Structure 1
Amino acid sequence: MKRAIPVVVLSIAGLVPVWRYEPSVGAATSTAEPASTPSAPSSAGSSSGTVVKGTTIQTEKGPVQVQVTFSGEKITAVRMLQQPNHPQTAAAVPKLVAETLKAQSADVDTVSGATITSEAYKKSLQAAIDSNGASAKTSASSPASASPASAAQTVSGSTVNTDKGPVQVQVTFSGEKITAVRMLQQPNHPQTTAAVPKLVAETLKAQSAKIDTVSGATVTSEGYKESLQAAIDAKG
């Protein structure tokens, strides 16, 4: 019986390191979590303002898409919605976002070692900027239609079938002035998504369907202008 006591004591003592080691596993898990959030560089204040998604750019490394928050024309935050799962991309994104907030444009330097992601980032970013600019111009033109709501007239253009898909616009007039253009149908294609804001902005500026074709989206541009002209003709 006297020999049994030391054995029990040693057994209990042997369990102590196990009890002390257990909490450190949880601690290691919690410190590793932030490394899996590559979109953390989004700037503060992204919950307010106008949020615009850029086009999805397909690259050999994977899709790239940004979401931009604007306060008027100012870029206040950029968040990655899609990006390649690669260490160089994860390292490049914070630099691209920081440069964007500083430059307030897509005219930022390519990050060394992440050229493909950088170029796609800039294209998606530019698309979001263009879209926000078109929306701002549309909003700016709305005070001119401060006359009674009954003076506004909305007309849908004809549906133009193209080899990329159907195109149809809806135009809002205040008297003879075009105050807004909305796409009812358009091809589901990144180049179309990028082209539409430019076409709308040009329409509001020209106040007619006599606008330039957007490079890289010729088919959509021609369909847009045809449907727009039909709406203008229907308005009379």
Structure 2
Amino acid sequence: MKRAIPALVLSAAALVPVWRYAPSTDTTSTTATAESAPSAAAGSTVVSGPTIDTEKGPVQVQATFQGEKITAVRMLQQPDHPQTEAAVPVLIEETLEAQSADIDTVSGATITSDAYRESLQAALDENEKSASSSDSDSDSASSSDSASDSESSAESASRTVAGSTVGTSKGDVQVQVTFEGDDITAVEMLKQPNHPQTEAAVPVLIKETLAAQSADIDTVSGATITSDGYRESLQAALDAKA
């Protein structure tokens, strides 16, 4: 039986230093789908879980894998509800720590937590299935050139770029961005000042980046220095990708 995370987690959710979040979309999916086929030594693989309908609204999870490791998670669909918005970063952080769908229910967001785990588990199963299929195909490949072409295709589907480290009076700031084609699909802070205002600002900056798909985002009140360093490192990553 899953234990409930104390309600205190909800109020602290905004302070999670590293998380990935994307606003809900109207896109629906009835089965888990691998969007890029992984191969040995290939790049990241992005897999969307199925859409789980709940009484609060649809829930759909997308996971990015490096081999079998979960490197990023984003919500493609989620209920438009304050408790859900507070629960999402907690669920994502626990997923990245556990590297599985065996995570706790967030108190006050039981329905969303259950649907999140179900959609995530389907994505995990699909990635494992695709990896097994890819390994089998690789073993039977007769040409090293075809294997190289497959690897190049997988790498071009998803790419992770780290921006420059920006020194500030509060501490270093460095941003890492995951791209699918030209789209920014995930943002992670590699370095950030150890300060409460920074920790509160990071999820806001990431959310705005995913919405704007650029570094043209607003400064977070009370975290001007971190915001400026974030934008500079983010722009460097965008320029490097181009």
Q: Which TM bucket (shorter chain)?
A: 0.3 to 0.5
Which has the larger Rg? 1
Q: Hey, which of these two has a bigger chunk of helix by percent?
A: 1
If asked which structure has higher relative contact order (CA below 8 Å, sep 6+), I would say: 2
Instruction: Give the structure-1-normalised TM-score.
Output: 0.42
